[in-house]
Structure 1
Amino acid sequence: MRKFARITSAALACAALSACAPGGETRVAAPALPPPSYSGVPLPPGAVLDRPGVAPETGFAQDTEWEGSLRPDNATPAERIPDVVERGRIVVGVDQSQYLLSYRDVTAGDLRGFEIDLAREVSRDIFGDPDRVDFRFVGSQQRAQSLQNGEVDIVIRTMSVTPTRVASVDFSTPYLTSYVRLLVPRDRGILSEDDLPGTTVCVVDGSNLVQLAREIAPQSTILRTRTWADCLMATQQFHADAILADDAILAGMVAQDPYTTILPRRYGRQQYAVGTHKGDAGMTMQVNSTMERLRNDGTWNAMYERWLSGSLASPSMPELRYRATSEAKEQQ
């Protein structure tokens, strides 16, 4: 009886394990596993999802109607910006997570990138020393506000010239031209905007690309994050399928994640310029004097070669853009 019970138990055990192999060996059938899911991974802090079909509030604004910046005069830095010269340092609003443009090197602990080098060149022309800069991190939504509140002297943070921004801040002549494109992970099957319906497109909240994303991807969910680094993380965690951004920004993402690619179509042009306090003619002209030097002595080319060589960002410094003489005199 006990022997029969043992045999019966073994048979039941085999049945429970799906099958028994010849010779008494037990074969366990592998359970059917669901595909990898990242549904348990939270969205980046502060991220917001917009349902498909939200109409753009405005059209994508470009800088074609901008009258231009202020041509520098022959004054000295002490005459143009006496308060900054007396303080002995210039306060610059930057990002700290845009690889190649403005990021913190985790090994060395310092800030590096094309825009960081630009800030140091502005300092060089004011003080004769490129290191007399106080860097302050400002979010994408706080760029204009940080100038208006007097928290920074200038902003160098992929701040493109748009009609809305021109109403609240002044700009230097542009320092970089970039084009809006899509970045996608190679495994998502997205070859153009025709493949976007039903996907999620990521943009940074507070950028002028939110409206453009709604325009070119009306059938997509729009994920708005605080930073571009959060957008890249969102694609890696399957919260987003594409990123709409300037190719100068996307270049840093591709360098960090080789499993991504930038699609060729351009959706608009962006020109980055240094933001200054509205009405601060002295600071605007001081920055523009640096822009002219960078253009003339080859420093801009060296900066591009160091940080952006091989990217899709324009390899030429933008043309100097100055307003008419009469308008410039009124501004001063």
Structure 2
Amino acid sequence: MRRTRVTGLLAVVSAVVLAGCGVSAEPVDPAPVESVARPTPAGTEIDPELARGGSASRDCNATASLPPDAEVADGSTMAEIRERGYLIAGVDQNTFLFGFSDPDTGELHGFDIDIARAVAESLLGDPDAIRFRAISSADRIDVLKEGAVDIVVRTFSVTCERREEVNFSSVYYVAGQRVLVDADSDVEGIRDLGGERVCATRESTSLRNIAESRPRPVPVAVDDWSDCLVLLQQGQVAAVSTDDTILAGMRAQDRTSTKIVGDRFTNEYYGIGIPKGDEDMVRYVNAVLEDVRGGTWQDSYETWLREDLGDAAPPEPRYR
């Protein structure tokens, strides 16, 4: 009985198929497909409105910090950190060579990471007595004002405007803004990018410098520098412009397809960010940096940066 039903079903199906073969039908055109733009990283903004610069005087002697003092007094910020047992540092995890996560181990490495560990080792006797908090460029001031971290070591340029909101250590590195483009680009510097899209992270001095260049490029703001590299590789921006240290990390990840062009058109003075009220911590960190300049600074530079940036030496500190 079952075989009879199956045979009958097959006959019906065959008839339908044969009938379909005998019908001449016009093919149906699929819906027209427009060219599809590649998605941009989350949070990407084209030509964002930038807040006007603060009222802080540009003659505030921004790079001069408080004199160093390694004493850890009772009740001090450093004593509280020792009682807690670990330092909390806001850092980057997406900028190759300065602060990046090892894809195999998940551990953070880079020049800035070494600087943060040096503070932990001096204060707590162990470079691993540290808890890293990965933050974006835009978060650097907020996490300090909120007391969410003890220090920020994240390619943090010292400026008069920022000094109104947070404290800074003495300068531990001097960088300069340049331009990263495709290897086959004819661009020779920032002046060749008028009307072109140029990427930088939001709330960075780099983004403002792009907007103030003449002829004016179109600033593109993203959350992390790795997003800029993606946009450049996808052809969605003509260039990335920021500190040569950060660009060196991007180029190290894509040496065949990118190049750094033009001379430095700014000087960027990196300091360790510290909450506004913690002047004792500023002095202590400056004492740590005095030791770093005389020893491990050069070792770290050789490990991470010399291949891409050539010879360098630690900057001389300036104190008030």
Q: Same fold (TM over 0.5)?
A: yes
1:253-332, aligned counterparts within 5 Å? 253-258=250-255, 259-296=257-294, 298-312=295-309, 315-323=312-320
Number of the residue aligned with 1:76: 72
Does the residue aligned with 2:149 lie in a helix, a strand or coil? coil
Number of the residue aligned with 1:160: 157
1:190 matches 2:181:
no
Deviations 1:176-227 (A, max 9, x none): 1101111111123212334313421111111012221012254432211111
The answer on whether the counterparts of 1:183 and 1:260 sit within 8 Å (CA) in structure 2 is yes
Counterpart-to-counterpart distance in 2, 1:235 and 1:279: 40
Counterpart-to-counterpart distance in 2, 1:58 and 1:314: 34
> Structure 2 vs 1, CA of residues 322 and 42 (structure 1 numbering), >3 Å: closer, same or farther?
same
For residue 118 of structure 1, the aligned residue among 112, 115, 118 is 115
For residue 216 of structure 1, the aligned residue among 213, 236, 239 is 213
Number of the residue aligned with 1:6: none
> Structure 2 vs 1, CA of residues 77 and 240 (structure 1 numbering), >3 Å: closer, same or farther?
farther
Give the share of equivalent positions with the same residue, in percent: 38
Deviations 1:202-254 (A, max 9, x none): 11111012221012254432211111110000000111111110001111011
> Structure 2 vs 1, CA of residues 194 and 124 (structure 1 numbering), >3 Å: closer, same or farther?
closer
Letter of the 2:71 counterpart: A
The answer on whether the counterparts of 2:70 and 2:288 sit within 8 Å (CA) in structure 1 is no
Letter of the 1:134 counterpart: R
Letter of the 2:198 counterpart: V
Gaps of 5+ in 1: 1-36, 324-332
Counterpart-to-counterpart distance in 2, 1:50 and 1:178: 25
Deviations 1:253-282 (A, max 9, x none): 110011111113111000110000102122
Counterpart-to-counterpart distance in 2, 1:313 and 1:168: 34
Counterpart-to-counterpart distance in 2, 1:228 and 1:257: 14
1:49 matches 2:43:
no
> Structure 2 vs 1, CA of residues 56 and 132 (structure 1 numbering), >3 Å: closer, same or farther?
closer
Counterpart-to-counterpart distance in 2, 1:173 and 1:91: 19
> Structure 2 vs 1, CA of residues 55 and 104 (structure 1 numbering), >3 Å: closer, same or farther?
closer
1:221-260, aligned counterparts within 5 Å? 221-258=218-255, 259-260=257-258
- The alignment's TM-score, normalised by the length of structure 1, stands at 0.79
Letter of the 1:302 counterpart: D
Q: CA deviation at 1:313?
A: 7.5
Q: CA deviation at 1:138?
A: 1.4
- Aligned residues: CA RMSD: 2.4
Does the residue aligned with 1:244 lie in a helix, a strand or coil? strand
Number of the residue aligned with 2:3: none
Q: CA deviation at 1:76?
A: 3.0
> Structure 2 vs 1, CA of residues 99 and 74 (structure 1 numbering), >3 Å: closer, same or farther?
closer
The answer on whether the counterparts of 2:70 and 2:287 sit within 8 Å (CA) in structure 1 is no
Q: CA deviation at 1:78?
A: 5.8
Counterpart-to-counterpart distance in 2, 1:132 and 1:242: 39
Counterpart-to-counterpart distance in 1, 2:264 and 2:60: 17
Does the residue aligned with 1:310 lie in a helix, a strand or coil? helix
Deviations 1:61-99 (A, max 9, x none): 978732611112251376642110100001000011000
> Structure 2 vs 1, CA of residues 194 and 85 (structure 1 numbering), >3 Å: closer, same or farther?
closer
1:33-44, aligned counterparts within 5 Å? 39-44=36-41
Counterpart-to-counterpart distance in 2, 1:46 and 1:222: 14
Number of the residue aligned with 2:143: 146
Deviations 1:109-138 (A, max 9, x none): 111111111111101101111100000011
Mean CA deviation greater in 258-267 or 216-225: 216-225
Letter of the 1:285 counterpart: R
> Structure 2 vs 1, CA of residues 254 and 168 (structure 1 numbering), >3 Å: closer, same or farther?
same
Does the residue aligned with 2:309 lie in a helix, a strand or coil? coil
Counterpart-to-counterpart distance in 1, 2:59 and 2:194: 29
Does the residue aligned with 1:202 lie in a helix, a strand or coil? strand
Deviations 1:146-188 (A, max 9, x none): 0110100100011110111100100111111101111111123
Mean CA deviation greater in 201-210 or 67-76: 67-76
